[in-house]
Amino acid sequence: MSDDVNFEEEKFVSKANLMVKKIFNAITMMQVEHVQHFMDPSLYQKVCEKLERYQKKKERVVFEQVNISSYVLKHSTKQSYLEVEASVMVRAIVYCLSTVSNQVVSGDAFSRREFPTKMVFRKRLDSSSVDVPRCLGCGTTIDVYGDGICPNCGRVYDLANYDYIIQEMDW
Ligand SMILES: [Zn+2]
């Protein structure tokens, strides 16, 4: 059981689905800054480093038709945050493209494969809930699950102040 009194599994799963799909899409587009707010800074750093390694090899990773299923959630409460460990099955077409020739260099561009993934989500105990998310810089309303960057002032939305973000994720 969750210690998060407001925890609703269905809502959590649909948000998690959105976040993960957005992250895979951002990796594919090489625009991970737009999903930075979904990730703990240490995870974001790891993702950026991994993408840089691909860039150095003149390759990019492509995820298509991403689908996530069979969420098994394990809740725990730590000193300053609530944690949800999610075991999921990701189905996707995954391959690497050469950025020079645009040819597939590894993976399978034609069929989906399944890979089990573990993700850890955390929400700070001192987080607060908001009805209308706004940019802390200029007050513009933010579409948190659209883009984490304020369209007006460019500030990254700090989702960790309000909700679960991803602490760990394999890909
Ligand atoms: Zn702003």
Q: Per-residue pLDDT tens, the chain, 171 aa: give them.
A: 566 777 899 999 999 999 999 999 999 999 999 999 999 999 999 999 999 999 999 999 999 999 998 889 999 999 999 999 999 999 999 999 999 999 999 999 999 999 999 999 999 999 998 889 999 999 999 988 888 899 999 999 999 999 999 999 987
Task: Enumerate the domain spans of the chain.
Answer: 9-125+164-169
Cα 156 to ligand 1 centre (Å): 8
Cα 150 to ligand 1 centre (Å): 5
Cα 157 to ligand 1 centre (Å): 8
C-alpha distances in Å from residue 28, one per residue of 56, 85, 126: 16, 25, 34
What class has domain 9-125+164-169?
alpha beta
DSSP 82-118: EEEEEEEEEEEEEEEEETTT--EEEE-SSS-EEEEEE
Cα 40 to ligand 1 centre (Å): 20
Q: Is the pTM of this model over 0.85?
A: yes
Cα 33 to ligand 1 centre (Å): 15
